[in-house]
Structure 1
Amino acid sequence: MHRPRRWHVTRWHEDPYSGGAYASLLPGGQIGHRLLLAEPLDGQLILAGEAYHSHPGMTHSAWESGNCAARHALEGGARRVLVIGAGLAGLAAARALVASGATVQVLEARERIGGRTHSIELGGIHADAGAAWLQQYDRNGLARLAEQLGLATVATDFSRPLAAAHDGPVPDIDEAYARFLRHVDRSLPLEQAVRGHAATLSPAERRALGFALDGNLILEAGLPLSRLSMAALEEEGVGNGDRYLPGGYRQLVDHLAQGLDIRLGHEVRRIERSASGVRVDGIAADCCICTVPIGALGRIDFLPDLPGRYREALSYLAMGQVEKVILQFEERWWPVSPSGYLRWYDEPANWGEWLDLTEGVGSPTIAGLIAADAVEREFRGRTDEEIAHSAAYQLQRWAERVKSYG
């Protein structure tokens, strides 16, 4: 087996400050629940981040949410603002507030900035262990910033993966998913609706549907079908023209943090609202913008508690589980995809999505993604080294299958 010489394995599901990758809708959840949570509370508390955006799970959504929260704070007359979290939502809010003359302090629990973006160094190159792509590139504000800064980007064409399936030729995944979207009964819970649709299909069509759901829905949301809302089908994911940053998201994050008052290593425990303003761990301000991911929101005491409608909306959100492995080899031994994008359809699902970073970073490096129940199957009781070698084994199985197609 080809063994990596270096690796990095993420464990976002174990991270106390995130609890997962991004917020997905549970059964019964609607996009309206996300938007309700973005509404200011008494002019003193505003929740911001990708979870509270109509296009969740993306860095530019967090960025837009942070900017929106800053506008709400300024419209409410706030001049002293505490921002909790130095991810992209927090940095966006802080920069917009400072630009308008407000006094801002950012409190960050980690000993680094960036939140769920995290560029790591591996064998002399940089790679993103968290968010990696500038998605929906043409309408992405962070992409415009990257262009202004002259940062190198590499396009990924998700519509043209070099794909392989463990049990034979790859079926028409796009058609299987499109057919599902056309015919699924949206009045039912998602898992029940999938079973009903699958019952109308031939064995070959059911095989194609299973692969389509694994790759296009479960891998995107990070939750199994039993824990996903039907509304998840309406939420946008990847798009044509998406690009990644060979130098890592750190380039954007470091630029955005310049000039801001950021206090690292400060995990917020308590947010109190009263007629005189807001106090965060005893620090007084006019308003607090909280960008803590929903997976860690329960670590904060809100006094008084969040209103019932906010708590109900939060009950329909959960952190999707998506993890990444970055593998670096002596040479690029795997088949090269013209798009840089690879798909592996296995049963049960494991490392199903890969991005070949080799051309972008100048070293034989590849990043794999795994999601939902597969995270538990692959990670439980294993060291990072064991996980890295297991992922490399799956990459080799994919490569052998691709070669078998001739």
Structure 2
Amino acid sequence: MNMPFARPIAWHVTRWSEDPYSQGAYSALLPGGDGALRRLLSTPVDGRLFLAGEAFNHDHSAMTHSAWESGRRAAADVIASAARKVIVVGAGFAGLAAAGALRAQGLEVVVLEARDRIGGRAHTLSLAGHAVDVGAAWLQQYERNPLARRAEQLGLSRCVTDFSQPLAAAWDGPLPDINPAYERLRQAIDRAQPLASGVDAYLASLDPAERRAAQYAIDANLVLEAGLPLTQLSAQVLDEEGVGHGDQFLPQGYRQLLEDAASGLDIHLKCPVQQIAWDRHGVRVDEWAADCCICTVPVSVLKQLRFSPGLPQAYQQALRFFSMGRLEKVVLQFDQRWWPVSAGGYLRWYDSPPNWGEWLDLTAVSGTPLIAGLIAGDAVDRHITGKTDEQIALQACEKLAAWASAIKRNNEP
């Protein structure tokens, strides 16, 4: 193959959408859903079952500290119930937060984790000897993030990502001003209408240049963030707070915070849960018995668990409005860096149809030419599904090379 770029010497491709214990990256609201459903699902069931996780944080969702705060909230509800023995299902940030808070109050806690590791959708691995987060990667909403405070207490190395200042390019010419275009769209869409039809009507009202800017804003600020196409998203997603609030990432990975949170806990790995049953005497999770259970599995996995008695009808109806956004990552290592350098290490690529639209250059913090790309929504089917990791890595390189060429063109006199 005659490639216009250097071949990577190592790579990793995520497949969160195919993982039976995640079935996606993070929760997303389907058409008709709103934040009140998150609040409903976070309320206890019969004083025995407590749901927690990023999906059920009614203040903000889809982030590691969303999960952490939800787990702590569930633990507080359990403590108020006077339970003494608790089973926590899942050893992601929600489960670890809940178990740690309960243990600190003297309760007996067992954590059951389906995988052979802790962390859930936060996972740090070593690529050619370098730590790389292949799931959650940023400490988002930094100033109000309790995990950021713990990272500070532990003295962990952190780096700021300025999402407002990417080194960006588009395939079809000079890049329009994306953020104002997105804000105009947000202001124009009627939240009472289906998102897709509202966006279509808005785009039809624009001239070609405005439409191009708005479409790129949708691709980058909406679909890439939510992980689903517009036809599968609630209009309320326009109002859910996301990235861009002093976000920082951990050069040595989230595993540092996970190991800290898991310290001293009774965690049983390779223990996938099939059924949660409860009555006035207590709760049984498969063969494990306790006073109550905090279940922290992702929403798509939650829908597949057997509950006895079944979840209340209102909960079942609420869960129908939740899905999992599809977001995948490729991490590429090279002998040398061949792409343009961004001052902040953050890159954006606007292509049609959308593909590897967001990149984080990890070269400066890792000491080796290392870069991670993100892809979301329908683009996952086009570029991930049915392909080998090598094919995916090389196609991602092609898109990175196209971005680099566009940057070069834009800088030519």
Q: Could you tell me the TM-score, scaled by structure 2's length?
A: 0.97
**Take 1:146 and 1:140, find their aligned partners in 2: how far apart are those partners?**
10
Q: Deviations over 1:268-312 (max 9, x none)?
A: 011001110100102111110000101211331100110110011
User: Which residue number in structure 1 is paired with residue 35 of structure 2?
Assistant: 31
User: Which residue number in structure 2 is paired with residue 329 of structure 1?
Assistant: 334
Match of 1:45 among 22, 44, 49: 49
DSSP-derived class of the 2:324 partner: strand
User: Which residue number in structure 1 is paired with residue 266 of structure 2?
Assistant: 261
DSSP-derived class of the 1:185 partner: coil
**Take 1:86 and 1:186, find their aligned partners in 2: how far apart are those partners?**
36
Deviation at 1:175, TM superposition (A): 1.2
Deviation at 1:380, TM superposition (A): 2.2
**Take 1:188 and 1:295, find their aligned partners in 2: how far apart are those partners?**
25
**Take 1:268 and 1:182, find their aligned partners in 2: how far apart are those partners?**
44
**Take 1:91 and 1:277, find their aligned partners in 2: how far apart are those partners?**
22
User: Which residue number in structure 2 is paired with residue 22 of structure 1?
Assistant: 26
Q: Deviations over 1:33-56 (max 9, x none)?
A: 011100011110000000001311
**Take 2:379 and 2:37, find their aligned partners in 1: how far apart are those partners?**
28
Query: Conserved in 1, the CA contact under 8 Å of 2:303 and 2:319?
Result: no
Does residue 163 of structure 1 match 2:168? yes
Structure 1 residue ranges without an equivalent (≥5) = none
User: Which residue number in structure 2 is paired with residue 12 of structure 1?
Assistant: 16
Structure 2 residue ranges without an equivalent (≥5) = none
**Take 2:63 and 2:125, find their aligned partners in 1: how far apart are those partners?**
19
Match of 1:84 among 81, 89, 95: 89
User: Which residue number in structure 1 is paired with residue 359 of structure 2?
Assistant: 354
User: Which residue number in structure 2 is paired with residue 274 of structure 1?
Assistant: 279
**Take 2:350 and 2:240, find their aligned partners in 1: how far apart are those partners?**
23
User: Which residue number in structure 1 is paired with residue 305 of structure 2?
Assistant: 300
Does residue 288 of structure 1 match 2:289? no
Query: Conserved in 1, the CA contact under 8 Å of 2:227 and 2:376?
Result: yes
Q: Which amino acid aligns with 1:287?
A: C
Query: Conserved in 2, the CA contact under 8 Å of 1:2 and 1:396?
Result: no
Does residue 150 of structure 1 match 2:166? no
User: Which residue number in structure 2 is paired with residue 188 of structure 1?
Assistant: 193
Match of 2:181 among 176, 181, 185: 176
**Take 2:273 and 2:331, find their aligned partners in 1: how far apart are those partners?**
31
**Take 1:168 and 1:2, find their aligned partners in 2: how far apart are those partners?**
25
Q: Could you tell me the TM-score, scaled by structure 1's length?
A: 0.99
RMSD: 0.7
Deviation at 1:185, TM superposition (A): 2.3
Deviation at 1:187, TM superposition (A): 2.5
**Take 2:188 and 2:384, find their aligned partners in 1: how far apart are those partners?**
36
DSSP-derived class of the 1:405 partner: helix
Match of 1:400 among 395, 402, 405: 405
**Take 1:292 and 1:274, find their aligned partners in 2: how far apart are those partners?**
21
Residue pairs, 1:41-120, within 5 angstroms: 41-53=45-57, 54-120=59-125
Deviation at 1:188, TM superposition (A): 1.2
Query: Conserved in 1, the CA contact under 8 Å of 2:275 and 2:307?
Result: yes
Does residue 233 of structure 1 match 2:238? yes
Q: Percent identity?
A: 59
